[in-house]
Structure 1
């Protein structure tokens, strides 16, 4: 079974986040990974487009109960009717989680991934979560490029 990597990020993203997500999707597809995302716009659309450009498989886990909001680059669209609770499905389906950019929904995905304690979590840009002393939380790997993000998952040697 191929590796499944969730790529999480905001629906409204910067050009840099878009480019990082597109490159991340392409690199994952080139390594044979299935990309899992929220299936809509922004980072989700960029990672889907990048993966599909390299012949990859992209699964979108949608918040609505129908596929009307699905990005056209998805290979598979799964309507859940769960709203933001679908973030838990995305994280639980993954062998690793890569977070690109930041938003409240993205932060919830990062928190769910960290809480699960069973997958590598890599952050590329976005918000920084600090403890009560203002120190970065341990366990989140920080990448400066899409290639480094894939390396930090530890899934490929």
Structure 2
């Protein structure tokens, strides 16, 4: 179970429509603010209540995705870890973005699909059907490995599960763009990443970035 953060106060910036948590900008923006949504929002006092709200009102919200990166030939343990991560993020109502192909990418999309979440796959080619069959939204880039930069740029944080040089480039792009990067012990390690093999810890770190509690 991820660490629950309490004593939260949510509001909305009138200028940007960005959601604020304890006065800090989050990675969420409102598309529209219904009376029911605003009433439910101010009743959220901790992260458990907030993620119930997030799933209930997803259609009214723009939520930045979590980037999941890793090899297209994943080990069994990496595949299982990525699938469980996808399930957990979907349960929270958080979308994911990935390379949309096999291995870790397929596993996380499978987990997201199983739990009714949203996955976005950026395919390196122009062929729609080179994606895995679990990814929900497919974007054909025809950019080859250069599309790794787009994944890192689009996500508010990155989680690397295993990987080689391709994953290393995504990690480097993420750090270059100032994104937090969390990795498992089988992923390439570089200075600036946070290493953890604990699923709940990684989810807690992602939530802290989503709500801008990264300094706490």
Same fold judged by TM-score > 0.5? yes
- Please list, as runs of the form range in 1=range in 2, the aligned pairs for 1:1-150 lying within 5 A after superposition: 1-117=62-178, 119-129=179-189, 137=191, 139-150=192-203
CA deviation digits over 1:41-93, x for unaligned, max 9? 00000000001111000000000012121111011110000000000111111
Give ranges in structure 1 of 5+ residues lacking alignment: 131-136
TM-score, normalisation: structure 1? 0.90
Structure with more contact order per residue of length (Cα contacts < 8 Å, sep ≥ 6): 1
Greater Cα offset, 68-77 or 146-155:
146-155
Match of 1:152 in 2: 205
Give ranges in structure 2 of 5+ residues lacking alignment: 1-61
Q: Give the 3-state SS of the residue equivalent to 1:152 in structure 2.
A: helix
RMSD: 1.4
Match of 2:13 in 1: none
Shift of 1:128: 4.1
Greater C-alpha radius of gyration: 2
CA contact 1:124–1:146 (8 Å) conserved in 2: no
